[in-house]
Structure 1
Amino acid sequence: MTTKREQNWKYVIITMLFLGWSLGNFDRFIVNFAILDISKEFHLNGSLTGIVLSSFFAGYALMQIPGGWLADRFGYRKVIITAVFLWSIFTILTGAAWSFASIIIIRFLFGIGEGGYFPSASKGITNWFPHNERSRAMSIMLTSATIMGVVAPIVGTQLMQLLGWRQIFYIVGVIGLLLSVAFFFLVKEKQQPKQMKIEDPKVKAPLKDVLKTPMIWKLFIAYFSIYAVNWGLNSWMPTYLANVKGLNLTEVGVYSAIPPFVGIFAMLCSGYILDRLPEGKDKLIAAVFALMAGVFLLLMAISPNLILFIIFQSAVTVFLSFNII
Structure 2
Amino acid sequence: MGFVLKGCAVMQKKSSYRWIVMTILFILYTVANADRANLGFALPYIRQEFHMSNTEAGAIISFFFLAYAIFQIPSGFLIKKFGNKVMFCLGMLITSICTGLMAIAPNALAFKLCRLGVGIGEAPVAISSSGTINNWFPPKEKGTATGIFLAGSKMGPLVVPFICAWIIQMWTWHMIFIGFMIPGIMLAVAWWFLVANRPRESRFCNQAEVEYVESGGEEISKSAQSPQRKYNMKWLDKIIRAKKVERLASPKQIFTSTDMWAIAIGYFFVVGLSSVFMSWLPSYLVNVKHFAIMNTAFVSAAPFAGTVVGNFFGGWASDHLLGKRRKPMMMITALSTSVFMYGMLSAPEEPVLLAILLFCAGVFLAFGYSMYMAYGMGRADQKNYPVAFSLVNTGGQIGGAVMPLIVGMILDVFNWDAVWLTIAIGSLICFAVICTATEPVDDPLI
* TM-score, reference length from structure 2: 0.67
Residues 1:50 and 2:58 aligned together: yes
Map of 1:57-76 to 2, 5 A cutoff?
A: 57-76=65-84
AA paired with 1:124?
Answer: T
- Opposite residue 84 of structure 1, the aligned amino acid is M
Residue 349 of structure 2 is aligned to residue 305 of structure 1: yes
Q: Paired residue for 2:163?
A: 155
Q: CA RMSD in A?
A: 2.5
Establish whether residue 205 from structure 1 lines up as the match of residue 250 from structure 2. Answer: yes
* 1:265 equivalent among 282, 296, 309: 309
> Structure 1 residues 284, 138: CA separation in 2 closer, same or farther (over 3 Å shift)?
closer
Corresponding residue number in structure 1 for 2:363? 318
Q: What is the identity, as a one-letter code, of the residue corresponding to 1:114?
A: E
Q: Residue 5 and residue 232 in structure 1: after superposition, are their counterparts in 2 closer, same or farther (change >3 A)?
A: farther
Corresponding residue for residue 35 of structure 1: 43
Over 6 Å off, 4+ runs: 1-6
CA distance in 1, matches of 2:325, 2:94: 40
Note the residue ranges of structure 2 that are not aligned, 5 or more in a row.
1-6, 202-209, 216-246, 371-446
Residues 92 and 125 in structure 2, CA contact (< 8 A), matched pair in contact too: yes
| Partner residue in 1 for 2:296 | 252
Distance 1:290 1:78, change over 3 A: same
Which residues in structure 2 correspond to 1:185-224 (within 5 Å)? 185-190=193-198, 191=200, 205-207=250-252, 209-224=253-268
Q: Which digits, 9 at most, give the CA deviation of each residue in 1:269-318, with x for residues without a partner?
A: 22211111234754234313321111111111233534554333222211
* In 2, Cα distance between equivalents of 1:210 and 1:137: 23
Asked whether 1:130 is paired with 2:138, we answer yes
Segment drifting more, 79-88 vs 249-258: 249-258
The answer to whether the 8 Å contact 2:303/2:355 transfers is yes
Name the residue aligned to 1:102. Answer: 110
Alignment correspondent of 2:228: none
Number of residue equivalences: 319
CA contact 1:297–1:312 (8 Å) conserved in 2 = no
Residue by residue, what CA displacement relative to the aligned partner does 1:37-94 show, whole Å, maximum 9, x if unpaired? 1111111111111111111111111121122222111110111000111101101111
* Kept in 1: contact 2:332–2:367 (CA 8 A): no
Larger Cα-atom Rg: 2
Q: Secondary structure at the match of 1:324?
A: coil
Q: Percent identity?
A: 29
Cα 1:265–1:280 shift into 2, 3 Å: closer
More helix by share: 1
Larger displacement relative to structure 2 (310-319 or 219-228)? 310-319
Greater relative contact order: 1 or 2 (C-alpha under 8 angstroms, separation 6 or more)?
A: 2
What residue in structure 1 maps to residue 128 of structure 2? 120
Give, in whole Å, the separation in 1 of the partners of 2:365 and 2:341: 11
Distance, in Å, in 2 between the alignment partners of 1:152 and 1:280 is: 33
Q: What secondary structure does 1:215 align onto?
A: helix
Aligned residues of 2:307 and 2:364 also touching (Cα < 8 A): no
In structure 1, stretches of 5+ residues that fail to align are none
